[in-house]
Structure 1
Amino acid sequence: MSNTRPHRITFANEKGGTGKSTTAVHVAVALAYRGAKVGAIDLDPRQRTMHRYFENRAETMQRRAIDLPTASCEVFRGDSTQELDAMIERVGEGMDFIILDTPGRDDQYARHAATGADTLVTPLNDSFVDFDLIGQVDAETFKVRRLSFYAELIWETRKTRAMQQRKEIDWVVVRNRSGHVEARNMQRIEKALHELSKRAGFRVVKGLSERVIYRELFPSGLTLLDKGHLGELGTSHLVARQEMRALLAGLHLNIPERNGSPQLELA
């Protein structure tokens, strides 16, 4: 797989606070645990959340004298989409996957990364505030009224690719933090997502629940996948590892099998 163009996974959502960077880091590390070579680009030079996470991870590895699966991450600070394309090509050299983490706002480079993705991951919290990014619903019936600008952008890109006989974007909407939603509201969101998915052409996958440990792990750059380096894990953390397994499986990625690569044990 590394002898060909790396598979591009773009994490994109024009709203902040959806767990986008946390999900991106965990997917990158999960792929590395499976033996994949992973490159990463942080497209938010102000926040640099994903890049900082991997910086912290490298510092922890050095401080503890341990070797952990990780990704090679850089920050994009260019002034054109041509510079971004050049960086993607450079960072992706010899990689199986390249992961792009975009800012939580409307941004030309985020749009460029989204429309150039092989797999587009859009994390959403289970709320109609976040749902509004991809579609608008009726205030009384909660039925989908129309696609949002963002959903129409991806829809048109997919149609253009199909006409050009290029690889289709696999658009995956990831439902994060769904455990903290009132039951009736969750049912409404599930129904609206199901309806919109048929119109916009995305798949829906359950993501990561709201857990304090994700924020606590950031300074060390560790993830829930780093078994043996986290101390004793409680039951909720073991459940979170199972969530990560389900999320990775739901992305339907072609992960290379390599002899001698570390095993991803999430149970």
Structure 2
Amino acid sequence: MTFSGLNGSPERRQRGAHVIVCGNEKGGSGKSTTAMHIAVALLRSGYSVATVDLDGRQLTLTRYVENRRRWSVKAELSLLVPHHFHVPPARKDSVTDAESEEFRQLSEGLAEIESSYDFVVVDTPGADTFLSRLAHRIADTLITPMNDSFIDFDVLARVDPVSNEVLEVSQYASAVRDARRERRQTDNLILDWVVVRNRMSNITSRNEQKIDTCLKSLAAQLGFRIADGISERVIFREFFPIGLTALDEFEEHVLATKPTLSHLAARQEIRQLISALRLPTDERGRNRADIRRKFAEATSRPISLPDIFVS
């Protein structure tokens, strides 16, 4: 799907909106929290941002945005809020009819925002759904949050329990690989895939070292990058009911509580994550996007992952 005619600089209008998809077929990995923080980070950097919730049952990102709007009014705050819409589950007599209806709603929703926003941040359900597969195929940046455990690693690949050698790629990783190839064939763009490690302990354990080794091995095979994400901090769960993020002002009348060192640590984590994503918001990110695009344009044949420009 092509986004064009965006407001902003001529450079952004020519390229179209940058689509960021938070995807993982396992629930509870931090997709919605990550999506909201990325959206607010971009808003605070002066970009226009739309968010899309494709998890029509849980609606976690939708609730997050609603809580933010509500708290902004109640606490009389000037909070930046993204334009938001969600696609509800279609109830039809057949799966084909339901998918057609969901596709129509998603297409119409995107058509309304493609000419008005610089970034589109999409949150997907923790399952293999029709809408999730569509989202992966329009992504420019795919972010796959995972908790730092072999339970979550299993979504990406199977490993030998003794040697920790990667035995086979999972269905989700194979689906991402197919989506990247399809995106390359469709519009000669290379999808940037970033696996984000959430809930990492402050103390490095033997299990973490094993996961780190397996992830690096798999990254070389599949061509994704690795970034540190959100640790196990209660503060991130406390943000949700009032729609705040670690990037908002840490004042008592904003937080409805006294700020702590945990707030500052959470903010630092998010800033480091945003930097690691290398989104096209600064010279480094734009140059990297140019390199990926020029490489794609230089050859007409579909590439077999990994590609050297994803590392």
Specify if TM > 0.5. Answer: yes
State the Cα distance separating 1:222 from its structure 2 match.
1.2
Residue-by-residue CA offset, 1:200-249 (whole Å, 9 max, x unaligned): 11100000111111111211111121113225322222111111001001
Residue number among 33, 40, 56 corresponding to 1:22 in the alignment: 33
* SS of residue matched to 2:201: helix
- Map 1:69-80 → 2, pairs under 5 A: 69-77=80-88, 79-80=101-102
State which of 52, 57, 69 in structure 2 corresponds to 1:41: 52
Q: Write the distance in 2 (CA, Å) between the matches of 1:142 and 1:89.
A: 46
Q: What are structure 2's unaligned runs of at least 5 residues? A: 1-5, 8-12, 91-100, 284-311
Number of the residue aligned with 1:252 = 278
Per the alignment, residue 261 of structure 2 pairs with: 235
Name the amino acid aligned to 2:23: A
Residue 174 of structure 1 corresponds to which residue in structure 2?
196
Distance 1:70 1:128 in 2: 35
Say if 2:235 and 2:266, in contact at 8 Å, map to a contact too. no
Deviation at 1:163, TM superposition (A): 4.2
Q: Measure, in 1, the Cα distance between the counterparts of 2:135 and 2:203.
A: 31
CA contact (8 A) 1:155 1:201 kept: no
Q: Is the 2:137–2:182 contact (alpha carbons within 8 Å) kept by the matching residues of 1?
A: no
More helix per residue: 1 or 2? Answer: 2
Measure, in 1, the Cα distance between the counterparts of 2:184 and 2:128.
25
Amino acid aligned to 2:47: A
Partner SS state of residue 220, structure 2 = helix
Stretch deviating more after TM superposition (222-231 or 36-45): 222-231
Matching residue of 2:240: 218
For residues 51 and 182 of structure 2, the distance between their equivalents in structure 1, rounded to whole angstroms, comes to 26
| Percent of matched pairs sharing the same residue | 42
Asked which structure has the greater CA Rg, the reply is 2
Aligned equivalents of 1:252 and 1:160: distance in 2? 23
Q: CA deviation at 1:256?
A: 7.1
1:213 is aligned with what amino acid?
I
Q: How far 1:196 sits from its partner (Å)?
A: 0.3
Partner of 2:108: 86
TM-score norm. by structure 2 comes to 0.78
Structure 1 partner of 2:298: none
Q: Aligned partners of 1:141, 1:157: CA distance in 2, in Å?
A: 30
Whether the 8 Å contact between 1:36 and 1:256 is mirrored in structure 2 is: no
User: How far, CA to CA, are the matches of 2:114 and 2:228 in structure 1?
Assistant: 28
Counterpart CA distance in 2 for 1:161 and 1:117 is 8
Assess if the C-alpha contact under 8 Å between 1:38 and 1:96 holds in 2.
yes
Task: Indicate the residue corresponding to 1:65 in structure 2.
Answer: 76
**Using CA pairs below 8 Å that are at least 6 residues apart, which structure has the higher relative contact order?**
1
User: Structure 2 vs 1, CA of residues 104 and 194 (structure 1 numbering), >3 Å: closer, same or farther?
Assistant: same
Aligned residues: 257
1:13 maps to what in 2? Answer: 24
